[in-house]
A = this chain, B = another copy of it.
């Protein structure tokens, strides 16, 4: 870790500079810059002119320290490679739009220690709110979340005990519903393909509930394979091929995300496998970008954007009223869409 920036050469402009240039007190300049209080149109214009001419940009650090107010909302997510989290961020952006609040993003890489570090780092900026993916955190992280005098919204998942508020879907429910849909459609030899579990609690919960629900229908998972690393079409193809080679009698494959499911679909079509007649397929997330595949993939919409937006709205409400009594719990309904790869022909 190197040191942050040493002070730079030219002295940055301050309120005082504008004050002197416009012949008005610093306080009045401050009022103009913030559109606060009553300032005569004349002084106002004079101050703005001076500020613009000098190229003055207020120092929010000083402002925040003095006012004890920070217009930042910390958002902590595991990854940006996942395609899912950018959508959540879009939702957050939408929910914060017009509130004067700005999201600041931190990446935890699915590593608890790193999440802890990022959390500490972000809390040290005293944000107006904190949005964090998942309900599973290290003890230290939970302690920080509780100790921080900030509204906290845990997102994506509602299966567990939130520190404060929570917005998400039940991944257990999503997994169970998919299992039921698959079983009712008549599939019996079911395989699972997904990310390595310790890294991804939500995928794990889906998997557990999936197998649990299958068991209630008297079905046991016939085969499964976990992988680490990124999820692309190619990975989906390769893993699907390998799994089918190993267990040729599978009649359904449930994937932990749409991208590898799409890869699997493309492999099956190439291999001349009858989908969904001989083999059914389903993914997870409901990635819109993938609408337009040769067949529409069965999947569950994880409401990513909506989750981000609702979480942001909770923070925004707290920031406005200044007081948030209780944690809100918002459980959105994961919508299963069978597409064209789930019903047996």
Contacts and interface: CB of A to CB of B under 8 A. Distances in A.
A177 B292 CA distance: 29
A345 interface: no
Contact of A100 (B1, B71, B90, B98): B1
Nearest to A233: B292
A232 B57 contact: no
B289 A259 contact: yes
A90 B101 contact: no
Nearest to A287: B232
11 contacts: A1-B100, A1-B326, A5-B69, A5-B325, A7-B68, A11-B149, A61-B61, A65-B65, A230-B288, A232-B288, A234-B292
Interface stretch (A140-148, A242-250, A330-338): A140-148
A266 interface: yes
Nearest to A75: B105
Given A5-B69, A5-B325, A125 B290 contact: no
Interface string A119-151: 011011110110000000000000110111110
Contacts of A323: 9
Nearest to A259: B289
Given A6-B69, A61-B61, A128-B5, A290 B100 contact: no
Interface string A69-82: 11100000000110
Contacts of A98: 1
Interface of A: 1-12, 55, 57-62, 64-65, 68-71, 80-81, 83, 86-87, 89-90, 93, 98-107, 120-121, 123-126, 128-129, 143-144, 146-150, 230-237, 259, 263, 266, 269-270, 288-294, 316, 318-320, 322-323, 325-327
A1 B98 CA distance: 5
Contact of A4 (B124, B235, B288, B319): B319
Complex A-B, nearest 8 residue pairs according to Cβ-Cβ distance, in ascending order: A233-B292, A234-B292, A55-B147, A5-B128, A6-B322, A4-B71, A4-B69, A80-B86
B124 A12 contact: no
A322 B125 CA distance: 23
B319 A2 contact: yes
A30 B87 CA distance: 40
A68 B104 CA distance: 21
A146 B59 CA distance: 17
Contacts of A236: 292
Contact of A144 (B57, B106, B326): B57
B319 A10 contact: no
